């Protein structure tokens, strides 16, 4: 599969979205898709921030840079437009402890009490143990990056923020911050702030995208995830189908491959014409591989049909046989842009 011939889609499906939350079942390639999406969104003159919150340093590994600090770092330039224009992608690794300290200094002049909080282990308590607080701190920083205000002087304003988020099973809990705090902080500024955050997360300026692969369990989890997001009134974005098998055979050929109906004599003739020394087993081997491939493609198609019924836009990314490197990320970004995701 080569690069799509056209880089820029006329209009993105998510033109109004500022915050792209990328979730999905573990192992489906969430971080890869989030990175590719950030590259795709960074067209001419656009500033994009790519955040991670799970402490894995997956972005740094993928882009082959040093581990990311709690500082917005320039990561790379985005995928070029048709006329060569490109924007900048920054990256940020959000950890709860730094987020809490930054929050306290930004909103409260606590003076001695601030130092005492640290000395008495409150910071550690709040970030590692206190349930829910951790998620609120992480999402709070994401909120701050989207809704930059005068409190954060000299900070970059971003056109888009892409969040490499926790997996589908945890995403509603993660974003539903006021709910997490509900039983714990019933009044006070934290409560008010978490309500403001919820307003952004529930608005059309946010989209929660789910990454899946065309297998039964991840697709089922995607279906369940969408229902859960809707039940929590969180905005469902697109479904990104990752790791799609190569599509080198036509539907007719696939059907023939499944039933053993491929024309072996013609294949043998072609192989010679292609310059290969046809060994006795070569044709049989290729036909057997085709049959196995066709079976897997049929299963993919049945899952694809389920994704199509979901009533949300879906996008497909190919499986890259050589694995994902930086070049591969741009290739995936081009696919996302060509399909209108960015």
Partner 1 sequence: MARSSTQRQTRVGPATPPARRAGALDVDALLDDPKTGIIVCCGSGGVGKTTTSAALALRAAERGRKVVVLTIDPARRLAQSMGIAELDNTPRPVSGVQGDGSLDAMMLDMKRTFDEVVIAQASPEKAKQILANPFYIALSSSFAGTQEYMAMEKLGQLHRDSREAGTYDLIVVDTPPSRSALDFLDAPERLSSFLDGKFVRLMMAPAKGPAKLMTAGFSLITNALTRILGAQFLKDLQTFVTALDTVFGGFRQRAQLTYSLLKADGTAFLVVAAPEPDALREAEYFVERLSEDGMPLAGLVINRASPEPAGALSADEAMTAAERLRQQDAGSLTAGLLRLHGDRVRMVQREGMLRDRFATAHPQVATVVVPALAGDVHDLDGLRTVGTLLSQG
Residue numbers 193-212 binding partner 1 by CB under 8 A: none
Tell me how crowded residue 281 is: count the other CB atoms within 10 A of its CB.
9
Of these, 4, 65, 173, 228, which contacts partner 1 (CB under 8 A)? Answer: 173
Pattern 47-66, partner 1, x by CB under 8 A: -------xxx-x--------
250 lines the binding site for partner 1 (CB under 8 A):
yes
* 169 sits near partner 1 (criterion: CB under 8 A): yes
User: What's the min distance (Å) between Cβ of 136 and partner 1?
Assistant: 11
Pairing of the two strands 19-24 and 160-164 = parallel
Which of 45, 69, 85, 189 contacts partner 1 by CB under 8 A? Answer: 189
CB 68 within 8 A of CB 60: yes
The CA-atom distances, in angstroms, between 212 and each of 15, 92, 201 are 23, 24, 22
Q: For partner 1, which is the closer residue by CB, 54 or 97?
A: 54
Q: Is 270 in the site for partner 1 (CB under 8 A)?
A: yes
Distance CA 312, CA 267 (A): 41
295 part of the interface to partner 1, by CB under 8 A: yes
Q: How far is the CB of 259 from partner 1 (least distance, A)?
A: 15
Q: Which among 81-89, 138-146, 148-156, 274-282 is the span making contact with partner 1, rule CB under 8 A?
A: 274-282
| Nearest Cα residue to 30 out of 178, 246, 195, 221 | 221
d(CA 102, CA 151): 11
- The secondary structure of residue 36, as a DSSP letter, is H
Residue 119 makes contact with partner 1 by CB under 8 A: yes
| Binding to partner 1, residues 120-139 (CB under 8 A) | 120-122, 124-125, 128-129, 131-132, 134
Q: Shortest gap between Cβ of 56 and partner 1 (angstroms)?
A: 8
Q: What are phi and psi of 19, to 5 degrees?
A: -110, 115
| Class of residue 166 by CB neighbours under 10 A (exposed 0-12, middle 13-18, buried 19+) | buried
265 binds partner 1 (CB under 8 A): no
The three-state secondary structure class of 314 is strand
Considering only 3, 156, 184, 227, the residue that binds partner 1 (CB under 8 A) is: 184
Q: Decide: is 183 part of the binding site for partner 1 (CB under 8 A).
A: yes
């Amino acid at each position: 599969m080569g690069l799509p011939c056209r880089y820029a889609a006329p209009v993105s499906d998510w033109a109004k979205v500022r915050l792209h939350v990328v979730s999905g079942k573990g192992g489906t390639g969430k971080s890869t898709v989030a990175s590719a999406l950030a590259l795709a969104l960074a067209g001419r003159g656009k500033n994009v921030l790519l955040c991670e919150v799970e402490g894995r340093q997956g972005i740094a590994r993928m882009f082959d840079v040093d581990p990311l600090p709690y500082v917005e770092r320039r990561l790379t330039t985005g995928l070029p437009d048709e006329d060569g224009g490109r924007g900048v992608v920054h990256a940020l690794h959000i950890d709860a402890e730094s987020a809490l300290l930054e929050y306290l200094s930004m909103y409260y002049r606590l003076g001695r009490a601030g130092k005492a909080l640290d000395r008495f282990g409150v910071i550690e308590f709040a970030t590692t143990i206190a349930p829910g607080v951790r998620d609120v701190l992480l999402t709070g920083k994401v909120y701050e990056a989207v809704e930059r205000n005068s409190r954060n002087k000299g900070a970059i304003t971003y056109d888009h923020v892409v969040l490499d988020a926790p997996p589908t099973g945890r995403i509603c809990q993660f974003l539903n911050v006021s709910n997490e705090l509900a039983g714990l902080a019933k009044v006070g500024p934290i409560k008010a702030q978490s309500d403001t955050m919820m307003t952004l997360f529930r608005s059309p300026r946010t989209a929660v995208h789910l990454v899946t692969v065309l297998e039964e369990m991840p697709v089922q989890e995607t279906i369940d995830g969408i229902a859960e997001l809707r039940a929590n009134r969180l905005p469902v974005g697109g479904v990104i189908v990752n790791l799609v098998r190569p599509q080198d055979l036509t539907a007719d050929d696939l059907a023939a491959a499944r039933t053993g109906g491929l024309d072996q004599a013609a294949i043998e003739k072609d192989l010679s014409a292609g310059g290969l020394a046809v060994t006795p087993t070569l044709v049989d081997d290729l036909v057997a591989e085709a049959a196995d491939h066709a079976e897997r493609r049929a299963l993919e198609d049945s899952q694809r049909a389920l994704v199509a019924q979901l009533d949300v836009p879906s996008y497909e990314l190919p499986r890259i046989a050589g694995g994902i490197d930086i070049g591969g990320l741009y290739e995936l970004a081009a696919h996302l842009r060509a399909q209108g995701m960015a």
